[in-house]
Structure 1
Amino acid sequence: MDSDSRANFPSILQGKKILLATESWGPVNGVSRTTRSLVEYLRDNGVDLILVAPDFKGDTAKQSAQVSGERRLPGCALPYNPDLTVVYPFHLREVYRQAFEPDLIYLASPASLGFQMLLQIRQLRSPPPVLLNFQTDLSAYSEIMLPAPLDRFGVWLLATVQGFLFRTSAVRTIFYPCSAIRGYLEGAGAPADRMVKLGRGVDTTLFTPDQRDDAFRRGIAPNGEVILLCVCRIAPEKGFEFLAQVAMRLSSEKVPFKLLIVGGNRNPVVESRVQRLFDPVRRHVEFTGFLTGAALARAYASADLFLHCSVSETFGLVVLEAMASGIPVIARDQGGPSDIILHGKTGYLVPPNDLEQFTSLTRQVARDNELRGTLSVAARQFADDTTWEKINRRAAWQMADALVQTDQEAHGSRPPRPTILASAMEQFRLMFAVAIVYGMWLIAVVPLIVHGNRLLPRAWLAVRRQLIPRI
């Protein structure tokens, strides 16, 4: 099908029943914002969509009644990040009965919810086509959060589980956000012929240089200091120790700056631990907590330079939002930002552990107004070609292709019934996979739930060991 025919929403999806399961629906993060954009796009174009997600205790908009078109599953919130919930075991038939028999299933960032669904989909005689979007690199989180030797074991275990589940025959498309993730998926054994690169879009109407607010700037930097911005969830894996080192070096070099950190964590222990990292330069730093909508857009556009220090991002939506706001970005060259930033044109990419170069580039761009202006224009131009409309339309056409392919297979020759031995082998593999998945959650999650914040110092030591260079 030519590109012109795909310029509009695929009509085959109108009226279709789609079950969309997501691991995050409610918290302020890249996965929930990306998924919300797709949900709104599909519903606006006539799709009958039911959303399934873990229960989220922080969702004050849903306290007394179930939101229409939404099915919440109970689970246990993670102590180091209460926004994320490990879903208790459930049966797919319960979801179907309370929702509907779907024509297609879409799994956003599959983990505790998505893994269970994939395991049960494997048992269906005629499963609907499945598309999944790999948005969260769980192996990177395991490597950072778990103490040795569980960190290496966690990475291996996740790759084993993901490779097995992603080879499920019903899975038609595996969306991935960047080249680094494709390499990981191939290494895990996911089928390369089903992989499709799908980035994220950005709201170029909300995030725009027009949101710049001089009064807001004066409140942050009353003496005309350059404003450095960081936007992300406050958590050990987001590179805050690296950022604190950058801030301390800039301060020692007498660079006039203010560092605005936008984000938070519903676990006050984690948030407090991050804030204490900046005690030596506290007069340079301001924490705003979570911001959304116009307030977030104003923070982006009112800054001069965006600093991205996380190395665990599969895409890095905040990088794209900063660029749409006309703000150049300096980022560590790992994960999603490596595929977004045009080095030397819209910002700079720095080797992950090169603290000296990161600080030097920050100082250079902070002091050079003309360079900042050139980078700013190029950053906005890049973002203009990356809208949610284009990204969501690409996802919708992949769904349409999956439905057509499934329909063609249904009208073709039926595959022979498996032998008793083959059925027994498949059942054994399924039971083995179930054991692996629940063993993974037992090893990786239960200790965090049982010990809670007492494991956080270990996590921080792991972050220091893996993310901070020796200086």
Structure 2
Amino acid sequence: MLRPFALRPALLRRLRGAPPEAETKILKHVPLLARLGEPGIRKALTGRYERHLSGSLGDVGSGFPTLDFLSSIGSFMDGHTYIAPYVALHGYFGREGRKACRLRREVLPGNHEDLRVGVFVDGMEAVNGVATTYRNVQVLAEREHAGVLKVVRCGGAPALDGELSLRAVTTLPVPLYDGLTLGVPSLLDVIEHVTSEDYDVLHVATPGPLGLAALVTGLVLGIPVVGAYHTEFGAYAGRLSGDAFVAEIVEVAVREFYERCSVVAVPSQATALALRNRGYRIGSFEVLKNGVDAELFDPGKRDQGLHDALGGGRKLLLYAGRVSKEKGLGRLASGYLDLLRRRDGDDVRLVIVGDGPYRGELEAMLGDCATFTGFLKGEELASTFASCDVFVFPSTTDTLGRAVAEAQASGLPAVVCGTGGPRECIQPGVSGFVVASGDEEEFFSRIEGLLDDGALRGRMGRAAREFAGGLSWEAVIDEILSLHSRLAGVGSDLPASV
């Protein structure tokens, strides 16, 4: 069942010593199982499976002890042999059911309302762009397309309207992200949920434990899977760990995941190009851009009192997002301190909105030269955006940069790097500037130009607001439904790969 996920030979060598073959494990329990009825057999096998699952992941820490982590993966995969008979049965009947479904659609053509999509999101409770995206999708889908999209998560807080929370067998700390844990579901629970809901398409938000279970379920049942690529996990792992081998392991695992999806949804053309250039063998990409709430993020929410409180009357540079090394904040801090020295430090202030593991080090680097607000949301966040003057985004690893779109909607000109998706969130030269990655001198030259030219700031700010008007969440939902309809055979054939 999991054989398609075989790792590269260099990594397989590190998985030696994994438990015995599946046949040996199952045969060992045959004498006991023979004495039980069907419910007893199922209870015994699933109980053993879940204990094995918990045990295999129990010693994984939030750091990245590479060899221990690889061994845990081997044991984790091996534990699924206990439920292999049930997976095989679901696979057979699921594929037969799909054939019947296709026949029904040919005889009785349907429409969007016939579509059923399961959207599987790891870490839905987290504070990050991916979680925010799917919370917005969930709210709008429930309001405009009730019954078509269902958001599925694992563990955590009680489920809200329009979503379902599956039971977590255990939890897994996310390597290199202290404090962030993901629920690990039973593969059998995921398969049975998908079977009972009769989904036409599975949409997987991230390659986490729930996402992996959903992908395997799609492969077993013959249901098309859309894999959404939101994060450059390999690049993040390398920058956070400083270990090229760690980055390679993560990159291999992520590539194995997405190459098995029917379609890979990316937030920008730049992301699709980057994956192709790195050798990802993906048949079809679909660009699904993020949306922005232009009612929440509005230049009209500018508050002069808040502006003065944040910077003492100075012009305000704003960064908003996760405060972590991979976001390029070390380079931003160094360049900003140089900027202050050139300008005698009396007319500009950097505002950092957000939180993360790099905050303490960044505060020590910047001292009293910057304002740290911590995590903000809702109206408080929107007012802060609108009350600043220029948005700066130094990250070269973001696939989109949702905060850039929020800044544009708030009427802020933006200066971003030319690598990754953020450059597609502005109109270069019209609503902001795109600077070649690594050209720190040009990056801060563009910032100074905006600080010194109020007319340019105003012109670009108005253009930014107009540009953001085309990034509505309603348009995002329509694109998602169009893609899923084509995959399910409700609409026309899939478009050519981008």
Above 0.5 in TM-score?
Answer: yes
Q: Deviations over 1:225-278 (max 9, x none)?
A: 10110000111211110111122011101251111110013x5xx432232222
Deviation of 1:26 (Å):
2.0
Q: CA offsets per residue over residues 407-434 of structure 1, 9 Å max, x none?
A: 99xxxxxxxxxxxxxxxxxxxxxxxxxx
Please, what is the CA RMSD of the aligned residues? 2.6
By relative contact order (CA 8 Å, sep 6+), the higher-ranking structure is 1
2:151 to 14, 31, 51: 51
2:234 counterpart residue number: 139
For residue 371 of structure 1, the aligned residue among 424, 440, 456 is 456
What is the match of residue 249 of structure 1? 338
Partner residue, 1:59: none
Question: Contact conserved, 2:138 with 2:150, CA < 8 A, in 1?
Answer: no
Superposed, which structure 2 residues align to 1:448-467 within 5 Å? none
Does 2:122 align with 1:34? no
Is 1:117 matched up with 2:196? no
Q: How does 1:162-201 map to 2 (within 5 A)?
A: 162-166=257-261, 171=262, 173-186=263-276, 187-192=278-283, 194-201=284-291
Structure 1 residue 104 and structure 2 residue 201: aligned? yes
Report the Cα distance in structure 1 between the residues aligned to 2:171 and 2:188, rounded to whole angstroms.
15
> What is aligned with 1:276?
364
- Separation in structure 2 between the aligned mates of residue 197 and residue 97 of structure 1, nearest angstrom: 28
The residue matched to 2:286 in structure 1 has which SS? Answer: strand
Q: Which consecutive unaligned segments of at least 5 residues does structure 1 have? A: 1-9, 57-61, 409-471
Shift of 1:390: 1.0
Corresponding position: 1:314 with 2:411:
no
Partner SS state of residue 386, structure 1: coil
Who is 1:264 aligned against? 355
User: Residue 123 of structure 2 aligns with which residue?
Assistant: 24
TM-score of the superposed pair, with normalisation by structure 2: 0.70
Q: Indicate if the aligned counterparts of 2:224 and 2:488 stay in contact, CA closer than 8 A.
A: yes
- In 1, the alpha carbon distance for the partners of 2:193 and 2:475 equals 34
Deviation at 1:155, TM superposition (A): 5.4
**Per the alignment, in what secondary structure is the counterpart of residue 423 of structure 2?**
helix
- SS for the counterpart of 2:177 is coil
Residue 170 of structure 2 corresponds to residue 71 of structure 1: no
* Paired position in structure 2 for 1:339: 424
1:178–1:114 distance in 2 versus 1, CA, 3 Å: same
Residues 89 and 55 (structure 1), Cα distance of their counterparts in 2 relative to 1, 3 Å cut: closer
Aligned length: 377
SS in 1 for 2:220: coil
Q: Structure 2: which amino acid aligns with 1:131?
A: V
Partner of 2:324 in structure 1?
235
Correspondence for 1:447: none
The one-letter code matched in structure 2 to 1:153 is E
Residues 154 and 184 of structure 1: CA distance in aligned 2, closer, same or farther (over 3 Å)? farther
Bigger mean CA deviation after superposition, 155-164 or 384-393 = 155-164
Q: C-alpha separation between the residues in 1 aligned to 2:188 and 2:180?
A: 21
CA distance in 2, matches of 1:337, 1:94: 35
Deviation at 1:49, TM superposition (A): 4.2
How much does 1:406 deviate?
9.7
Provide the C-alpha distance between the structure 1 equivalents of 2:338 and 2:247, rounded to a whole number of angstroms: 33
Letter of the 1:115 partner, please give it.
L
Deviation at 1:350, TM superposition (A): 1.4
CA distance in 2, matches of 1:385, 1:111: 31
- Contact 2:176–2:241 (8 Å) recurs in 1: no
Q: Deviation string for 1:95-144 (max 9, x for gaps)?
A: 534973423211113333323321343223xx233222211121221232
Q: Secondary structure at the match of 2:274?
A: helix
Contact (CA 8 Å) 1:229, 1:261: kept in 2 or not? yes
Mapped partners of 1:276, 1:78: distance in 2: 26
**Which one is further off, 200-209 or 109-118?**
109-118
C-alpha distance in 1 between matches for 2:180 and 2:152: 14
SS for the counterpart of 1:28 is coil
Q: Is the 8 A contact 1:159 1:188 kept in 2?
A: no
- The CA deviation at 1:83 is 6.1
2:241 corresponds to 1:153: no
SS in 1 for 2:398: coil
Q: Report the AA paired with residue 71 of structure 1.
A: S
The 3-state SS of whatever aligns with 2:132 is helix
> In the alignment, does 2:376 pair up with 1:291?
yes
Match of 1:427 in 2: none
Letter in 2 for 1:29: N
Q: Which residue of 2 aligns with 1:12?
A: 111
Shift of 1:404: 2.1
Task: Compute the displacement of 1:341 (Å).
Answer: 2.3
Amino acid in structure 1 at the alignment position of 2:353: V
Note closer, same or farther for the CA distance 1:212–1:150 as it changes in structure 2 (3 Å cut): same
**Letter of the 1:334 counterpart:** T
Question: Given the superposition, is the C-alpha separation of residues 372 and 149 from structure 1 closer, same or farther in structure 2, using an over 3 Å criterion?
Answer: closer
CA distance in 1, matches of 2:292, 2:318: 18
Write out per-residue CA displacement over residues 335-378 of structure 1, whole angstroms, 9 at most, x where no aligned residue. 01122222221111112211111122211211111111111111
Q: Distance in 1 between matches of 2:258 and 2:473?
A: 29
**Which residue identity is paired with 1:28?**
V
Q: Distance in 1 between matches of 2:159 and 2:139?
A: 18
User: How far apart, CA to CA, are the structure 1 residues paired with 2:193 and 2:485?
Assistant: 24
* Equivalent residue, structure 2, for 1:435: none
Are the aligned partners of 1:198 and 1:391 in contact in 2 as well (CA < 8 Å)?
yes
Deviation at 1:145, TM superposition (A): 2.3
Supply the distance in 1 between the matched residues of 2:216 and 2:123 (Cα, whole angstroms): 20
| Match in the other structure for 1:204 | 294
Contact kept, 8 Å, 2:335 with 2:440, in 1: the verdict is yes
CA distance in 1, matches of 2:402, 2:441: 26
Greater shift after overlay, 136-145 or 300-309?
Answer: 136-145
Q: Does 1:301 align with 2:301?
A: no
Q: Distance in 2 between matches of 1:371 and 1:34?
A: 32
**CA–CA separation in structure 2 for the residues paired with 1:353 and 1:49:** 41
Identical amino acids, percent of aligned pairs: 26
Partner deviation per Cα, 1:39-87 (whole Å, 9 max, x = no partner): 222222222544222445xxxxx3xx55463214342233643464344
